[in-house]
Amino acid sequence: MPRPSLSSFLKLGCLAAALLCGSLPPLAKGEMQGPWEVIKMNDRDYVTVDSIKTFYNFNKITRTGEAIRLENPKVIMDLKVGSQECVMNGVKFVFSYPIESSGGKAVVSRMDLAKLIDPVLRPNYIKNGGDFRTVVLDPGHGGKDNGATNPLGTEAGYTLMVANKTKAMLEAKGFKVVMTRSSDVYLSLQERVNVANAVKENAIYVSIHFNSGGRAARGIETFALSPQGVAHYGKGLKSSDFGMFNGNEHDSANIALATAAHGSVLRRLGANSFDRGIKRARWSVLSGVRHPAILVECGFVTHPYEARLIENDDYRTAVAAGLTDAVVKYRYAVSQKPAP
């Protein structure tokens, strides 16, 4: 079954803005506006899925057991009580908190509403998000740090090849590209952050990696910075998670950019892709960079089949094309003005 077009997916923001009035309130202050039914659970605010349906103009909601589907002509959103996964138009997101049930009503954390659902469905409400022509590409590892390896090659080599292809494609579309490295040299994480932050004009940052794991682990996953008060994916909450980092200034832009990149790469890879989801993490490069930033894991060099794909130049070209598509689509989606 073909994947939905990410261009139509990101244009959901324009549709929602045209049909709705009012805006989502800030997470930390201000009263809830609109038809929000707020429920307090475990010292955390949740909103009902019914109120999400109303605000975002879904015209159909179906519940079968714990599975919930919201639909309108442009988007299908699948949720499941007890799960942190949300699938929108075939693209998987991992919420910060599980979907819960209260009084028979399914509820989603207000954090996930404000920091994920809203910027994905309404990217055009992200202020100044589209005002950039510069892309910082960060090929992971290099020099003394090979990253993940297999008998065919190294992560450091593959990330540089993908970055060089992406650079050429973006420049052909009129973007300025800054590379954190353009050869097989070692840069510390802080040096990568410094290169990105030395770019004074508005820009976006894309860190390119390949993954490692058990022999069964495979697929594409994309990371945006965890919002303030949210743990690194797969880890427990700790005191440092409540700090405000440079990257948190762009929480909404980060998740919109991650959506564009993740979906575009999956679409370009087609049958050779497996969706591991869009996740939140506290990688140093994401927390330190002052521009909207994401980290894309473009496949597993430790998976027997995927390793051979990654070694193939066509696969790496498809990844680069997907990242290029994402930059173009993201810039278009966030530059559209919301309805008055």
Encode pLDDT of 127-151 as tens digits: 878 889 999 999 999 999 999 999 9
22-48, pLDDT tens digit by residue?
A: 333 443 333 335 679 999 998 899 999
Query: Is 90 exceeded by the pLDDT of residue 9?
Result: no
3-state secondary structure string, 121-177? HCHHHCCCCCCCCEEEEEECCECCECCCEECCEEHHHHHHHHHHHHHHHHHHCCCEE
pTM: 0.90
- Taking the mean position of all CA atoms in its chain, how far away is CA 157? 24
What is the pLDDT of the chain when averaged over all its residues? 90
**Counting Cβ atoms within 10 Å, is residue 242 exposed (0-12), middle (13-18) or buried (19+)?**
exposed
Could you give the residue range(s) of every CATH 3.40.630.40 domain in the chain? 134-335
CA distance linking residue 315 with residue 335, whole number of Å: 30
Nearest-CA neighbor of 206 among 35, 72, 322? 322
In CATH terms, the superfamily for domain 6-125 is Copper amine oxidase-like, N-terminal domain (3.30.457.10)
Which tokens belong to 274? Answer: 């497996």
Give per-residue pLDDT as tens, 302-315.
Answer: 999 999 999 999 99
Which residues does 328 contact at the CB level (< 8 Å), separation at least 6?
A: 173
| pLDDT for the residue numbered 35 | 74
Helix (H), strand (E) at residue 50: helix 49-55
User: What value, to the nearest 5°, has the Cα angle with vertex 269 and ends 267 and 272?
Assistant: 125
Digit-coded pLDDT (tens) for 158-193: 999 999 999 999 999 999 999 999 999 999 999 999
Residue 72 has pLDDT above 70, yes or no: yes
pLDDT score for 33: 54
pLDDT over 50 (residue 14) = no
Instruction: Give the sign of the dihedral formed by CA 329, CA 205, CA 262, CA 51.
Output: negative
CATH code of the domain made up of 134-335: 3.40.630.40
- Predicted confidence band at 3 (pLDDT cuts at 50, 70, 90)? very low
Domain with CATH 3.30.457.10 in the chain: 6-125
User: Helix, strand, or coil here: 64?
Assistant: strand
**Higher pLDDT among residues 5 and 244, named by residue:** 244
